[in-house]
Amino acid sequence: MTVQTMLILLLQGFLTTLAIFTLTLLGSLPLGLLVYFGKKSRIAPLRWLVNAYISIMRGTPLMLQLMVVYFGPNLLFGLNVSSNWRFTAVIIGFVINYAAYFAEIYRGGIESIPQGQYEAAEVLGYTKTQTFMKIILPQMVKRVMPSVTNEVITLVKDTSLAYVIGVVEMFTRAKQINSAPGGMGLWAFLAAGVIYYVFNFIVTVVMDQVEKKMSYYQ
């Protein structure tokens, strides 16, 4: 196997890694906010359910959760799932896992905002929705950016867990190259490591720029 062939195969795997990363963020960031609202709901059963969900997501391995999402429909309900379900199961598993973490990050950011700001908004005639969207949410986003950045960086590395249910992302592709006849040995893992690092570096730079753009209040 030539170096060029190895890199092409790794980049094919990286496209899957990138898809998992992007779709997870698109799903988990807004879902985390909904989970936070559920956690703070005045409806006790909903609040208990959401708290149990967060506890389970944060207290069990992501690898196990992916296996439950993938094998669950067949084991619990006897449904036959196609091979296409693998990728969908990965996205569902990642989204519900990361949404739980983002919900707790949002909670910390929102609860750090002084109560006086809510009272001032009420005096000015703001509704609860206006208060949250125009006053609380912008400040919360700024405050939680460092924690969100850490989770996003972790997500880049966690995408390699997709292999557990047979989704061929970049790390799985590196293992295949390493074990193939005429493979590149450890060079495939080193190349994958470099790609992960570069991707994480780009993500970190982008998140830092976003944080600077949002430094409109102190």
Segment 13-36 shows an average pLDDT of 95
> CA neighbours within 13 Å on the CB side: how many for 207?
18
**CA 71, CA 79: separation in Å to the nearest integer?**
10
Asked if residue 6 belongs to a domain, the reply is no
**Domain CATH number, residue 95:** 1.10.3720.10
Instruction: Quote the percentage of the chain above a pLDDT of 70.
Output: 96
Q: Which domain holds residue 62?
A: 17-172
Asked if residue 49 belongs to a domain, the reply is yes
Q: How high is the pLDDT of residue 176?
A: 85
Residues 214 and 142 sit within 8 Å (Cβ to Cβ): yes
Asked if residue 203 belongs to a domain, the reply is no
Q: How high is the pLDDT of residue 184?
A: 66
Q: Is 40 helix (H, G, I), strand (E, B) or coil?
A: coil
Choice among 71-80, 83-92, 147-156 with the minimum mean pLDDT: 71-80
Asked if residue 92 belongs to a domain, the reply is yes
Distance of CA 118 to the CA centre of its chain: 30
Structure token pair of residue 180: 């193939």
Asked if residue 132 belongs to a domain, the reply is yes
Asked if residue 12 belongs to a domain, the reply is no
Asked if residue 46 belongs to a domain, the reply is yes
Give the per-residue SS3 of 117-152. Answer: HHHHHHHCCCCHHHHHHHHHHHHHHHHHHHHHHHHH
Q: Is 37 helix (H, G, I), strand (E, B) or coil?
A: helix
Asked if residue 208 belongs to a domain, the reply is no
